[in-house]
Copies of this chain bind each other. A is one copy, B any other.
Amino acid sequence: MQRPTGSTEGLRRSNTGAVLRALRRLGPSTRVELAKDTGLAKATVGVIVADLEAAGAVAEEGSRPGVRGRPGRPVALRGERFVTLGLELNVDYVSAVVLDLAGDVVSSSSRPGGTTADLRELAGTALAEHVGTDSTLVGAMLAVPGLVRGDNRTVAWAPNLHVTWPDVADTLGSLVPGRRIEVSNDANCAAYAESHHGAATGAAHALYLTGTVGIGAGIVQDGEVMRGGAGFAGEVGHMPVGDSTALCGCGRRGCWEASIGLHAMLAAVAMTELDTPLRTAEAVAARALTDAGVRSGLERVGRDVGLGIAMLSSVLDPEVVVLGGYFAPLGDLVLEPARRTLDERLASAVQVRPDLRTSTLGIQAAALGAAEQSFGPVFAGERELTA
């Protein structure tokens, strides 16, 4: 999905990227299998694999015999050598994920707090403990709840965070010398994570919905995050959906998050907020087991969730919609009414309702997605893996 650099070296980079992608997708594979999948010649794959092995990016596994003929020697991505760092700075917690080239999570941690110092400490610990001198940090990305420009560098608007941006950039810059830390929107990162590791694995077109006090969406189209003209695509919290009289925190009426945000949900079930959205939702789910009033309140919220997803689906046509944030603990209590509403709103018989699922990655979704995105240039064949 990228333009080759023009030169033959660029061609090699591009083909190396194709081999790496095939290894991620197929798992351990022999050279012949890789050749078949990528369309390259056997000999070419052999050379590329040898280079990757020298760089420490792949390793041979034990052969698997049983069939006639010389057994192939499968090659697998090796995690030890190359890693990325994904961070999330949120209102009341920070997260860090170290991901390796094989796609395994090397380290995953989060803690309460929302300051630059909290983030710095968590990231510093993760790096110190899990990124040795023999491994290379390929890239790093920070996910934030806010509007981030398409260049992945400047935060245009993050009203809920109590930090100043040059400060964050400086702090993190000193942490990862020589590598710029990119910034991206948390919902976009989470969407990427779910489509690569979570509930939407394998779906090229996925939609992720994060729900806390605000509502945000991350859109994955053709395996890539969709950013829009300025980078602000997916800011769906203030779409006019649901109860048109509901007063939103932004001062207007009828915003979607005024109908399905955490506070609206709590009002619907007549309960109060606990310390975190997740714990609050768990308490609501527990109460729903015995309280019909809570169940019907969630039913109302679910219908409004479905209404918004109907809208988004008709625009984006995703295969899978993943609900994260406070929706995850509530599960089918919200999803079932949403599915019913969605079925009612399908425009035609040929349209298939997207699969509604709850997030499987929880609070680490955004940080994991940030880490995974940092591998993007490697798998795209834009950045070379050097020892």
Residues of A within 8 A of B (CB): 1-6, 8, 10-11, 14-15, 18, 38-41, 44, 147, 156-157, 159, 203-205, 217, 219, 221, 226-241, 244, 250, 252, 307, 310-312, 314-319, 344-345, 347-352, 354, 381
Contacts and interface: CB of A to CB of B under 8 A. Distances in A.
A209 B204 CA distance: 25
A310 B6 contact: no
A241 B254 CA distance: 12
Contacts of A250: 347
Number of copies: 2
Contacts of A10: 11
Given A4-B14, A204-B229, 12 more contacts: A3-B18, A3-B381, A6-B11, A6-B38, A8-B11, A10-B11, A205-B229, A221-B228, A235-B317, A236-B315, A239-B315, A244-B244
A311 B228 CA distance: 14
Given A1-B1, A229-B317, A350 B147 contact: yes
23 contacts: A2-B3, A3-B4, A3-B18, A4-B11, A4-B14, A4-B15, A157-B348, A221-B228, A226-B226, A228-B317, A230-B317, A230-B319, A233-B316, A233-B317, A234-B315, A235-B314, A235-B317, A235-B347, A236-B314, A238-B314, A240-B241, A240-B307, A241-B311
A354 B230 CA distance: 10
Chain B CB within 10 A, most for which of A159, A204, A240, A350: A240
A219 B237 CA distance: 21
Nearest to A15: B6
B226 A221 contact: yes
Contacts of A316: 226, 228, 233, 315
Contacts of A39: 5-6
Contacts of A40: 6
Contacts of A226: 221, 226, 316
Contacts of A314: 235-236, 238-239
Nearest to A214: B347
A156 B352 CA distance: 12
The 7 A-B pairs with the shortest beta carbon distances in the complex, nearest first, are A228-B317, A205-B229, A229-B319, A238-B347, A233-B317, A156-B350, A157-B350
A280 to B, nearest CB: 24
Contact of A351 (B38, B217, B232, B381): B232
A104 to B, nearest CB: 26
Given A240-B311, A345-B252, A347-B237, A3 B14 contact: yes
A315 B315 contact: yes
Nearest to A205: B229
A203 B230 CA distance: 12
A314 B14 CA distance: 35
Nearest to A231: B317
A342 to B, nearest CB: 11
A237 B319 CA distance: 20
Given A1-B3, A4-B11, A6-B15, A348 B147 contact: yes
A277 B151 CA distance: 42
A215 to B, nearest CB: 11
Contacts of A233: 315-317
A135 B64 CA distance: 56
A147 B351 contact: yes
A217 B314 CA distance: 10
